[in-house]
Amino acid sequence: MPSPDALIAMMPEHFLLVGIIVLILLEVVSLSARAALWVAILAVSAAAGAAIFLAQAGFAPSAPFPGLLSVTPAIFMAKGALLALAVPVLLMSRSEFKDGEFSILLLSSLYGLCLLPSSDSFLVMFIGLELLSVPVYALVLLAFRRPQSAEAAFKYLVLSGAASATFLMGVSLLYGATGSMNVETFAQVLSASDMMSRAATVLIVVALFLKAAIVPFHAWAPDAYEGASVPVTAYMATLIKGAVLLAAVRVFGVVNVSGPVADLLLVLPLVSIVWGNLAAIRQNSFRRMIAYSSIAHAGYLFYAFLGAGDSRQSAVVFYVVAYSVVNLLAFALVPENTRDDERDSLDNFRGLYRRDPLAAGLIGIAMLSLAGLPPFPGFVAKFLVFRNVFAAGHTTYAVLGLIGSYIGIYFYLRVLVLMFMSADDAEPAGSRASSLARMAGVLCIGATALLAIMPGWVIARF
Amino acid sequence: MDRVQFLLGLSIALFSLGLLGLVIRRNALVMLMCMELMLNGVNLSLVTFSQRHADAGGAVLVFLVFIVATAEIALAIPIVLLLVKHTRSMDIGRYTDLKG
Amino acid sequence: MGESLVLNLLLWLPVVGTVLLLVIRGNASLARVITLGVMMLQLIMAVWLYARFDAGVTGLQFATSLPWIPQWGVSYLIGLDGFNILLVALTAFLGPLVVLGAHRSIEKDVTLFHAMVLLLQFAMMGAFVAQDLFLFYLFWEAMLIPMFLIIGIWGGSRRIYATVKFFLYTAFGSILMLAALIYLVQSLAQTGGITSFAFADLYRARLPLPAQTILLGAFALSFAIKVPMVPLHTWLPDAHVEAPTAGSVILAGVLLKMGTYGFMKLGFPLFPDAARLFTPALMTLAVISIVYGACLALVQTDIKKIIAYSSISHLGYVMLGLLSLELVGIQGAIIQMVSHGLVAAGLFLLVGMIYERCHTRELSDYGGLARLLPVFSVFFMIFTLASVGLPTTSGFTGEFLALLGAFTAAWPLHVAGQSYPLILSIVAVLGVILGALYMLRFALTFLFGAVNAPHQPLSDLSLRERGILGALVIVIFALGLFPDSVMAKTENAARAYRGLVTTSRLPEQLNSGPELVP
Amino acid sequence: MISMPHALAAIVLLPLVGFLVNGVFATALGGRRFSNRLASIIGCGIPIAAFALTVNALLTLQAGNYTPLIEPLYRWATIGDSTFEIAFYFDRLSAIMTLVVTGVGSVIHLYSTGYMHDDKSYGRFFAYLNLFLFFMLLLVLGRSMLVLFVGWEGVGLASYLLIGFWFDDLANAGAGKKAFVTNRIGDAGFLLGMFLLYRACGTLDMDTINAAFMGSAGSVPVVSASLVGLLLFIGATGKSAQIPLFVWLPDAMAGPTPVSALIHAATMVTAGVYLVVRMSGVYMHAPDASQVMAITGVATAFFAATIALVQTDIKKVLAYSTVSQLGFMFLALGVGAYGVAIFHVVTHAFFKACLFLGAGSVIHALGGEQDIRKMGGLRTRIPITFWTFVIATAAIAGIPGLAGFFSKDEILWYAFASSRGGSPWLWGVAALTALMTAFYMFRLLWLTFLGPSRMEPAVEKHVHESPFSMTGVLLLLAVLSAVGGYFSIPHFLESQVPLPSIVVEREHYERTLLIVSVVLAFAGLALAAVMFGGPAARPERVRQAVLPLRRLLSAKYHVDELYDRLLARPLVWVSEHVLLRVGDRVVLDGILHGVASLATRAAGLFGRVQTGSLHLYSLFVMAGIVGALVWSWRHG
Amino acid sequence: MGLLALVSAALMLFLRQPMRVALALITTMIALGGIYGLLGVHFIAAFQVLIYVGAVMVFIVYVIMLLELRDAEGSRRFSSWRIPGLVVFGLLVTVFGVSVWRNGTGAFTGGSAAPFSLTQFSAEFLSRYWLVFELTSVFLVAAIVAALAVIKVSRRVDG
């Protein structure tokens, strides 16, 4: 039955699975939480390393799981990059989670993440999506430092469930129209004219929009992000979004988008960009602000679909990585506070430069990068996306999108103003990010520097 | 009316009713049940098409949906309990602490 | 190869300095020494490059070209040519002066401040030496960040408003420029078949007039904000007033030149047909800037605002010279850029020095400083007169040649029956009167009359301050008296610029648009 | 005659060295005895040396049979095909001007050592004076208009600094600023004229331009000479205080008196005249511009003279007199008598310098008093000053035999008879002005020196004759005022700038006119004697009789107020209320803030949509699905 | 059978008591099970009844009974968005219906193939889809851990 190829093809997943099992065992014998964290990091690093190694080795088996799962070096690279991003998340979770469940759930979710970019069949993709999100419902309220966490989890669960149902409905209609569960059918019927397959594509896209929080399907995101704890929000804002986008890349394949779906991909992301950036202006909660920012970034990400199909994956992966790295950087260095809502409040950043110059500097870099300003990687990513949009000939939308991105600069600057320029010298005591989180920050800044200095090299790898 | 068409219509109606339930019902448990209704609607169409194409894929997906639905409920119920514990109400309309 | 290494070193030295500063952390005097050292080294290298710069060569010198993002045709391409040699020299020259000038005024977060100054220096230098549009844009935008922090952290009471306004205003222009440059590169790739961001390649792009117009509009908006041209100028007075002295000096000295440099290096040469089409409109704006800036400088009560508005006026002359497309005017514009950099820097330094002593910027709080601070007053007078454009100072060289160019270009049109450019250039000449009016009003209230200054007794300028200003004065007079050797370095660039802008680059079959400027 | 390289450059640069040395010492060692002595030596030595060098250069010129000496110094700029060369040019005209500048300059420097003796900014004063000399020499020796312009602006700067020399009083510094700005208005015209010439001739070298216009260099430039002439004349009106830009000169009397003598009487203000003569090649082809110049000149002469009639400040009378005399010079230029204008420049330099310095001596004697109503009876107290003043007054009034007589008479004659725009009515107005000149000058003489003393007792006690450094200079200048007219400058210059021909039918009026002008001079004298020689009630009666006119004159025709109302205030008002308040703050910043608040409001709206209600969120989803599906129908 | 499912589903939305809603849902599910049975996929019908009615709904009913006592107050049934909700629902059904009805493919026509049996399904499930099976197990593990984690949290909140 399973050939060695099949075994190797799922190597990253296997590492994760091993990690999950070891963690569960550890949990059962209730060994120290510290060990659990390191096991998780080890597992994730091994998985990421395996993925990257396989990508570098050019491992491309022919159909290890015919019709269900396939891998190419590019897919391995994407997996590897995203898995590597999970390391900082784990590192920064230390301060919030004292026991091992977090790691188990995170690893399970990552397992789902790994399935998405290589799924050939909607069956696998559906499992991947569910595996990605179900543990997160639990993660959202896992820290439970305030009652709103439950509210957040419930909202997330219900709308995510609705997204799953919508996705299934779309898949079902597609199945009805073509008789196949293969993801490629989506791309094939994109330009079809019959109503049912058209409805099917629209429903699938809507479901992806829902998961990625595109206006008007975004409403769960700010609430869920705010209710969750810092590492979980970081995870949701970066990896989950990235995974959903990878799924979308998988679904769209390499065809150039046209027809009604292209319209959706033009209009709704644009609305998201503007809406997200505007709504973020008045936020006073850091996580909520990032949520709106992530809505806007989801907009940019879907813009990337408009370009030539063959460069889509590298564009999306690069954007996701650039965006995630700096987002994680910001989250890693959010100063500690005993009260979660105070930690979250932007006032917590007031005068941060005086208290913790490193954190202020790195968060500042993160904010500027999120704003898409050079020379930070966010700019290259933005450039990449808009270059594709221009190349596809959607000049007006590209310009509007850029102007929308301009709106966002203001609220990112606001964070900088608070950190560096507020005269408030009364400093809350002992409020620095934990040392592990700082380590995560350092990892992220290293990655940021790499992305900033050698974007060409990195893109060539994706 | 064609049978497939009828079943498909029914499936869509169930799906839409479920979605409508999410919009208009305030009780958290009822909302969960409406989610189940949506999934049931999807299942119906999947089974129909699976039959129509004589392909096991649809049926497998239905099977997966069963499992996922169960898991979601299993996860959702404790969350609802937690919510109720805190606000002593099943009314989702009251859970609006997170906004803006 | 060895020589181009010097340019690279010149560019990257500030980054090294920043890293050093971050490593030592906290020791203020060491930070000053390191920064000053870096700046001095940079100056030495710039002088060396300037001396070695061969005026006879048309293309790039000391060039480095490395592929950077080969997928998009982006390369790390830097080099010196006649366009940037003077501005690089100016930037390097002002660097040490800024550091020295900030010696006493910055007491808070000294290390961070110097790190920001170094980064700013890096970005400005980079924008000047970049010969690749992507690289240029990178530096162009990167400049905003340290400046944002410099104004925002060490600025005056309304610093946050000012710095956010500065940032958002300039960023708005940049975002449109980004759109335009992507479009430009795309269309070059589609029509010309080369994917490249190198200026030299982009100069070959052929675009139909509507496209040129829109793209020029986007570039011009970005550059005009930076210059700034009326009506896009309102960020400048606020930024200047709130910025610390060093910030003002850099802003006026170098940053504003970015706008005019952009027009000269990119805006007009990239879209020559649109540029010629819009010459009357842009000239109008330039002249409005001259007059408007002067009028507003006349009624300001804040001494920094006077200089700020005077900058608007002075850069109007630069635009006028560039738009004249006469060699004389172009050369004048280049000299005027440098001259304004020196003069405005000097004035801001002087204002900073007096502000350190008196802690007020209200003009009415001062009077009779010539009695109290003779040396200060002498310097002040020299810079004022240079700003007025008195002969023998650099201000005269720039203004005179720019106006001469504008006039020379406008006269034949007038003879041909099109008098509008001539009227504009006459108004610009009349702007010279306003220049004298506001600067002398400033000097009158400031230096003369009954002695009136808060915080008496005042100590006159220290040796350090005299040194800073003396260096500037020497260069100002050198440019005023002996501009020839300087202009020889830029002559080829001026020719190249004129050649690029006057040659139509419409797609082949449409190559018969009306020639607006002979 | 000593031949040396860069002789002309040495003339020009010597004062610059003086300025630098004095400037550095004055500021570095401010006020010490030693520095004062050094300042005197350098300050006076340099102009004298320059004078000597000039004489030497003149001898060289003479030896070279008056072929102009051209001495390139360096190349200022080369741009494309055009070069801007810094070169000096020495011909008869420059020689005269340079001699006047360095000569009168030297004596005034000497005078200043006495006059400024007790001033605490002694060194600074000499530094400025040397600076002035430097620029003035640059102006008269420059070959290119560019160099001329450098000097032109430079003397303006020196004038600005010297008018505001006692800057503790804001009014003095304000007067300096006014002078500078008014000059700048003229300079704008100058610049435009220069641009036009550059465009037309491709060079700024004045000899080349003249040659081009005279047609000796092949083709005549394709540009209207009148336009160029007018533009340059605008420049000249600024520098030489003609209508409409004369307003700065009376105010410029705020400077120390030697400054008034040197800059605002003898040299700088005649730069406009020099410019026109220098560009005579253009003006000869610009009848319209010449016409304008003549009319402006005569009008200025007339109006300034009327104002001078009623001034009570000793220096103001002289200032308006200067304006008036400059008007005469422009009248001469307007009718093409360039040499005559220069002749008047020279004689005027002598007698007006003498007058100013005499006035300075009076002021010095009276401890700063300048109001002639508070003088009188000084004849015996300061005799040398008195007698020199008498000679100079007689000279300016046109008493025969003295310098002013010759030059003024020639101007009147050419105004009447020149074939280039001379006309009887020009002569009429000019003659009337000459009468007034004689009258107000003798009025001044009478009120100051003759009659009973009206001095305040405290002042009267201290009245003393000035030191020799001052009186000696006065004597020298008085001699020059007396004999200066016997050297016929028009004749000397004729080979370079020919005099206009005389309209034939007016030729025989020459003797008549000569007599008329002599009569006029004496009539003025007599009138003044009658009015002010008798009891004080007599002028009072006249005053009452023409009260409205007198008021108008005292107020200087309200020109200052007019300019203030018409130009200065509207400019400030528009800048302040329209451009700053409305333009910058309301419109531009308003739009900006409007956009910003729009964004904030939109943000608020989006925030309100996010009510936290899961039902609403679901509704969004539902509506979104509907919308997306409907949208997908669009593609048929 | 279909109509029964539809009616009881509609009823779900309008019944006040959660318990009755649950009963309506059970009715719907059983009706669907019947439909599956009629379609010939008996094993899915069985699963439907076993998993949904037997497990999920029992769980829900249990919770309802648990909470019914505390949630005694007559809270309102409908959210404030019922009117727009209904309107959009109408639109949704219309749009959906039209989309599906007016399709051009032959999805609905043509004779139905032979219904496949449980053995057939099982064979395929374990051969072609064995990976899905494996993944499902991973999913179940994750779900169990998640549920346990949530329960642990609620226990912690209690204690």
Q: Does D635 touch chain A (CB under 8 A)?
A: yes
State the ipTM, two decimals. Answer: 0.91
Shortest distance between the Cα of B42 and any Cα of chain E, in A, equals: 11
Alpha-carbon dihedral angle through residues C51, C54, C60, C66, given to the nearest 10 degrees: -60
**Considering only CB atoms, which chain E residues are within 8 Å of B53?**
113
Q: Among A57-66, A448-457, D160-169, which is the least confidently predicted range?
A: A57-66
- Please name the member of D27, D76, D149 whose beta carbon is closest to the beta carbon of C378: D27
Q: Which helix (H) or strand (E) is C287 found in, with range?
A: helix C279-298
DSSP summary character for residue C195: -
Contact criterion met (CB < 8 Å) for D634 and A260 = yes
Q: Among C75-79, D206-210, D267-271, D452-456, which is the least confidently predicted range?
A: D452-456
**For residues C303 and C443, what is the distance between their CA atoms, to the nearest angstrom?**
10
What is the band of C518 on the pLDDT scale with cuts at 50, 70, 90?
very low
Contact criterion met (CB < 8 Å) for A135 and E142 = yes
Alpha-carbon dihedral angle through residues A444, A446, A447, A450, given to the nearest 10 degrees: 160
The pLDDT of residue C253 is 92
Nearest to C15 by CA among C149, C101, C139, C198: C139
Neighbours of C233 (CB within 10 A): 24
**For residues C382 and A194, what is the distance between their CA atoms, to the nearest angstrom?**
80
On whether the CB atoms of residues C323 and C279 are closer than 8 A, the answer is yes
Contact criterion met (CB < 8 Å) for B96 and D621 = no
3-state secondary structure D220-256: CCCCCHHHHHHHHHHHHHHHCCCCCCCCHHHHHHHCC
- Please name the member of D611, D621, D625 whose beta carbon is closest to the beta carbon of B99: D611
Write the DSSP string, C43-105: HHHHHHHHHH--TT--S-EEEEEEEEEGGGTEEEEEEE-TTTHHHHHHHHHHHHHHHHHTTTT
The pLDDT of residue E159 is 61
- Please name the member of D599, D629, D633 whose beta carbon is closest to the beta carbon of A281: D599
- C132: which 2 tokens? 């690749």
On whether the CB atoms of residues C207 and C187 are closer than 8 A, the answer is yes
Instruction: Tell me which chain A residue has its CA closest to the CA of residue B18.
Output: A162
Q: Which of A274, A416, A425 to mutate to test the interface with C (most CBs of C within 10 A)?
A: A416
Q: Does A220 touch chain D (CB under 8 A)?
A: yes
- Please name the member of E138, E143, E149 whose beta carbon is closest to the beta carbon of A17: E138
Nearest to E24 by CA among E51, E38, E4, E44: E4
pLDDT tens figures, C107-144 = 888 899 999 999 999 999 999 999 999 999 999 999 99
Shortest distance between the Cα of E80 and any Cα of chain D, in A, equals: 8
pLDDT tens figures, D540-592 = 788 788 888 888 888 888 888 888 888 888 888 988 888 888 888 888 889 99
Q: Does C76 touch chain A (CB under 8 A)?
A: no
**For residues D167 and C450, what is the distance between their CA atoms, to the nearest angstrom?**
8
- Three-state secondary-structure class, residue D84: strand
What is the band of E70 on the pLDDT scale with cuts at 50, 70, 90?
low
The pLDDT of residue C452 is 81
Q: Does A318 touch chain E (CB under 8 A)?
A: no
Using a pLDDT cut of 70, give the percent of chain D over it: 97
What is the band of C509 on the pLDDT scale with cuts at 50, 70, 90?
low
The pLDDT of residue C515 is 42
Using a pLDDT cut of 90, give the percent of chain C over it: 66
Alpha-carbon dihedral angle through residues D599, D601, D604, D605, given to the nearest 10 degrees: -100
Q: Which of D593, D595, D600, D606 to mutate to test the interface with A (most CBs of A within 10 A)?
A: D606
Nearest to D322 by CA among D353, D360, D291: D353
**Paired residues of C69 in beta bridges:** C74
**Paired residues of A456 in beta bridges:** none
- C361: which 2 tokens? 């910027």
Residue A106 CB burial class (10 angstroms; 0-12, 13-18, ≥19): buried
The pLDDT of residue C1 is 55
Q: Does B80 touch chain A (CB under 8 A)?
A: yes
Dihedrals phi, psi of C512, to nearest 5 degrees: -140, 40
pLDDT tens figures, A298-342 = 999 999 888 888 888 888 999 999 999 999 999 988 888 777 777
Residue B67 has pLDDT above 80, yes or no: yes
Q: Which helix (H) or strand (E) is B94 found in, with range?
A: none
Q: Does A428 touch chain E (CB under 8 A)?
A: no
The pLDDT of residue A432 is 74
pLDDT tens figures, D376-427 = 888 888 888 999 999 999 999 988 888 889 899 889 999 998 888 888 899 9
Nearest to A17 by CA among C365, E134, C450, D53: E134
Q: Which helix (H) or strand (E) is D78 found in, with range?
A: strand D69-79
Nearest to A217 by CA among D324, D622, C448, D581: D622
The residue-averaged pLDDT of D330-355 equals: 92
Close Cβ partners of D20 (under 8 Å, ≥ 6 residues apart): none
On whether the CB atoms of residues C190 and C172 are closer than 8 A, the answer is no
The pLDDT of residue A294 is 94
**Considering only CB atoms, which chain A residues are within 8 Å of B57?**
121, 123, 175, 180-181
**Considering only CB atoms, which chain D residues are within 8 Å of C488?**
78
- Three-state secondary-structure class, residue D400: coil
The residue-averaged pLDDT of D527-551 equals: 81
- Greater model confidence, A94 or D432: D432
The pLDDT of residue E115 is 57
Close Cβ partners of C127 (under 8 Å, ≥ 6 residues apart): C136, C139, C140, C143, C258, C261
- Rounded to a whole number, what is the largest CA-CA distance in chain C? 74
Nearest to E54 by CA among E20, E29, E32: E29
Shortest distance between the Cα of B31 and any Cα of chain A, in A, equals: 8
The pLDDT of residue D464 is 83
**Considering only CB atoms, which chain C residues are within 8 Å of A396?**
none
The pLDDT of residue B17 is 92
Q: Does C448 touch chain D (CB under 8 A)?
A: yes
pLDDT tens figures, C59-86 = 889 999 999 988 888 999 999 998 899 9
**Considering only CB atoms, which chain C residues are within 8 Å of D168?**
368, 371, 448-451
Q: Which of A119, A194, A201, A232 to mutate to test the interface with E (most CBs of E within 10 A)?
A: A194
User: Half-sphere exposure (CA, 13 Å, Cβ side) for A62?
Assistant: 0
Q: Does A162 touch chain C (CB under 8 A)?
A: no
**Considering only CB atoms, which chain A residues are within 8 Å of D604?**
282
What is the band of E110 on the pLDDT scale with cuts at 50, 70, 90?
very low
The pLDDT of residue A7 is 82
Task: Provide the number of CB pairs (under 8 Å) joining chain A to chain E.
Answer: 98
Q: Do chains E and A touch (3 or more CB pairs under 8 A)?
A: yes
On whether the CB atoms of residues A455 and A377 are closer than 8 A, the answer is yes
Dihedrals phi, psi of D90, to nearest 5 degrees: -130, 110
Q: Does E75 touch chain D (CB under 8 A)?
A: no
Write out residues 89-118 of A within 8 Å (CB-CB) of E.
101, 104-105, 108-109, 111-112, 115
Residue C508 CB burial class (10 angstroms; 0-12, 13-18, ≥19): exposed
**Considering only CB atoms, which chain B residues are within 8 Å of E157?**
82, 85-86
On whether the CB atoms of residues A202 and D629 are closer than 8 A, the answer is yes
Instruction: Match 């209200």 to its residue by tokens.
Output: C362
**Considering only CB atoms, which chain E residues are within 8 Å of B66?**
47-48, 51-52
**For residues D249 and D240, what is the distance between their CA atoms, to the nearest angstrom?**
9
**Considering only CB atoms, which chain E residues are within 8 Å of A17?**
138
Q: Do chains B and E touch (3 or more CB pairs under 8 A)?
A: yes
DSSP summary character for residue E76: -
On whether the CB atoms of residues C48 and C6 are closer than 8 A, the answer is yes
Q: Does B15 touch chain A (CB under 8 A)?
A: yes
**For residues E82 and D138, what is the distance between their CA atoms, to the nearest angstrom?**
92
Cα-based distances in Å from D149 to A201, D137, D625: 78, 12, 77
**For residues D246 and D240, what is the distance between their CA atoms, to the nearest angstrom?**
7
Shortest distance between the Cα of C433 and any Cα of chain D, in A, equals: 5
Shortest distance between the Cα of A174 and any Cα of chain B, in A, equals: 10
Chains that touch E (3 or more CB pairs under 8 A): A, B, D
pTM reported for the whole predicted model: 0.92
On whether the CB atoms of residues D197 and D250 are closer than 8 A, the answer is no
The residue-averaged pLDDT of E126-141 equals: 85
Q: What integer best gives the mean pLDDT of chain A?
A: 88
The residue-averaged pLDDT of D524-542 equals: 82
Q: Do chains B and A touch (3 or more CB pairs under 8 A)?
A: yes
Nearest to D362 by CA among D306, D310, D313, D304: D313
Q: Which helix (H) or strand (E) is D76 found in, with range?
A: strand D69-79
The pLDDT of residue A205 is 93
Write out residues 13-42 of B within 8 Å (CB-CB) of D.
19-20, 22-24, 26, 31
Q: Which of C15, C122, C140, C141 to mutate to test the interface with A (most CBs of A within 10 A)?
A: C141
